[in-house]
Chain A
Amino acid sequence: MEYICELRNVSKRFHTINNETKAIDDISFKVRKGEIVSIVGPSGSGKSTVLSLIAGLEQPSEGEVIVNTRSIGFMFQKDQLYEWRNVYKNCLLGLEVKNMDNEENKIKVKRMLEKYGLTNFKKHYPSQLSGGMRQRAALVRTLAIEPDLLLLDEPFSALDYQTRLSIGDEVGTILRNEKISTILVTHDIPEAVSISDRVIVFTERPAKIKKEYEIVFDDLSGERTPMKCRNTLTFGKYFREIWRDLDVEKEE
Chain B
Amino acid sequence: MLKRKNEQAAIISKEHEEYLRSINRERHFIRITQILIFIFGIIFWELAARKDLIDTFLTSSPGAILNLIVKFINDGSLFRHLLISTMETIGGFFAGTLGGLLIAILLWWFRRLALILEPYIVILNSLPKTALAPIIILWVGMGYSGIIATAASISIVVTIMTLYTGFNGVEKDKIILLKTFGANKFQILRKVIIPANIPNILSVIKVNIGLSWIGVIVGEFLVSKAGIGYLILYGSQTFKLDLVMMGVFVLGVIAAIMYFLSSWLEKKIIKY
Number of A-B contacts defined by CB within 8 Å: 50
Report the bound CA distance from A93 to B181 in whole Å. Answer: 9
27 contacts between A and B (CB under 8 A): A57-B176, A57-B180, A74-B176, A74-B177, A74-B180, A76-B173, A80-B171, A80-B173, A82-B174, A82-B195, A82-B196, A84-B195, A84-B196, A84-B198, A84-B270, A84-B272, A93-B178, A93-B181, A93-B191, A94-B181, A97-B183, A97-B187, A98-B181, A98-B182, A127-B272, A145-B181, A151-B180
Report the bound CA distance from A248 to B271 in whole Å. Answer: 47
- Chain A contact patch, size range: 20 to 34
Query: Which residues of the partner chain A approach B177 to less than 8 Å between Cβ atoms?
Result: 74, 76, 80, 93
Query: Which residues of the partner chain A approach B196 to less than 8 Å between Cβ atoms?
Result: 82, 84
Pick from A57, A93, A96: contact of B179, CB below 8 A: A57
| Contact surface of A with B, Cβ cutoff 8 Å | 55, 57, 71-74, 76, 78, 80, 82-85, 93-94, 96-98, 125-128, 145, 151
Query: Which residues of the partner chain B approach A71 to less than 8 Å between Cβ atoms?
Result: 182
Taking a contact as CB atoms under 8 Å apart, the answer to whether B191 and A97 are in contact is yes
| Contact surface of B with A, Cβ cutoff 8 Å | 1, 171, 173-174, 176-183, 187, 191-192, 195-196, 198, 270-272
Taking the closest CB of chain B, its distance from the CB of A58, in whole angstroms, is 11
Report the bound CA distance from A82 to B272 in whole Å. Answer: 10
Report the bound CA distance from A84 to B271 in whole Å. Answer: 8
Query: Which residues of the partner chain B approach A78 to less than 8 Å between Cβ atoms?
Result: 173
Report the bound CA distance from A85 to B272 in whole Å. Answer: 8
Report the bound CA distance from A78 to B181 in whole Å. Answer: 17
Query: Which residues of the partner chain B approach A96 to less than 8 Å between Cβ atoms?
Result: 191
Query: Which residues of the partner chain B approach A128 to less than 8 Å between Cβ atoms?
Result: 1
Query: Which residues of the partner chain A approach B171 to less than 8 Å between Cβ atoms?
Result: 80
**Besides the contacts A74-B177, A125-B272, what 10 more A-B pairs have beta carbons closer than 8 Å?**
A57-B179, A57-B180, A76-B176, A80-B173, A84-B198, A84-B270, A93-B181, A98-B181, A145-B181, A151-B180
Query: Which residues of the partner chain A approach B272 to less than 8 Å between Cβ atoms?
Result: 83-84, 125-127
Query: Which residues of the partner chain A approach B176 to less than 8 Å between Cβ atoms?
Result: 57, 74, 76
Query: Which residues of the partner chain B approach A72 to less than 8 Å between Cβ atoms?
Result: 180
Taking a contact as CB atoms under 8 Å apart, the answer to whether A97 and B173 are in contact is no
Report the bound CA distance from A55 to B191 in whole Å. Answer: 20
Query: Which residues of the partner chain A approach B178 to less than 8 Å between Cβ atoms?
Result: 93, 97
Closest to B269 in A: A84
Q: A80-B174, A82-B195, A84-B195 are in contact. Are A73 and B271 (CB under 8 A)?
A: no
Among B171, B177, B192, B195, residue most surrounded by chain A Cβ atoms (within 10 Å): B177
Report the bound CA distance from A211 to B176 in whole Å. Answer: 30
Q: A74-B180, A76-B177 are in contact. Are A82 and B1 (CB under 8 A)?
A: no
